[in-house]
């Protein structure tokens, strides 16, 4: 099945209609929840965390030591973010995150998970052949850089702290946050260089 397949969308709509009809779900509540994670939460929270780590060495140290507390200090808490571990990209090691069992994902800092993250093919292949999967997604990791795959679970969620792009010394935290996309915080991309 592809994202263009109307099957899942039709089944979801039918299930929602049935739940609403039986009074089990209030569509306004569901719409509000989705809207919150798509627009208000989303990956902007994680980008704020990353930019702060890039500009504040003490915060970066705290973030790497106790991701949950450091992230919560910026107001990003809630379901799916109760225990956060932050993994720092380096010249020697590239981190990538997956959830092999389902699709555990740090909602408070990244919002809703993308469809590829939940796809069984990604979940299985990135563990077996991470370098190949990353290349297919547009990220060529040099052979001398080791790849570590981290498996999220109900107990722990991971956030990747990407490397700060070159040429960003004079940028504000807000400008830096604009360079950090969701995929860089999962480890399937790098933060983008300023144009």
As annotated, the active-site residues are: 99, 102-104
Residues 6+ apart with CB under 8 A from 38: 111, 112
Nearest to 68 by CA among 39, 109, 36: 109
Whole-number Å distance between alpha carbons of 12 and 19: 11
Residues 6+ apart with CB under 8 A from 114: 182, 183
Number of Cβ atoms within 10 Å of the Cβ of 170 = 7
């Amino acid at each position: 099945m592809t994202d263009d397949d109307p099957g899942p969308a039709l089944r979801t709509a039918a299930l929602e209609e049935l739940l609403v009809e039986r009074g089990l779900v209030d569509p306004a509540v569901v719409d509000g929840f989705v809207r919150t994670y798509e627009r208000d939460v989303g990956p902007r929270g994680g980008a704020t965390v990353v930019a702060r780590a890039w500009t504040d060495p003490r915060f970066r140290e705290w973030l790497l030591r106790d991701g949950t507390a450091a992230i919560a200090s910026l107001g990003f808490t809630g379901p799916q973010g109760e225990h956060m571990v932050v993994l720092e990209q380096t010249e020697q090691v590239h981190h990538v995150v997956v959830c092999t069992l389902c699709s555990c994902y740090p909602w408070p800092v990244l919002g809703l998970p993308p469809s590829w993250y939940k796809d069984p093919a990604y979940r299985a292949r990135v563990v077996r052949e991470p370098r190949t999967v990353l290349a297919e997604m547009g990220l060529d990791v040099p052979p001398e850089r080791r790849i570590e795959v981290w498996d999220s679970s109900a107990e722990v969620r991971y956030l990747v702290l990407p490397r700060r792009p070159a040429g960003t010394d004079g940028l504000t935290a807000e400008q830096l946050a604009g360079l950090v996309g969701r995929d860089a915080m999962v480890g399937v991309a790098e933060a983008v260089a300023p144009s």
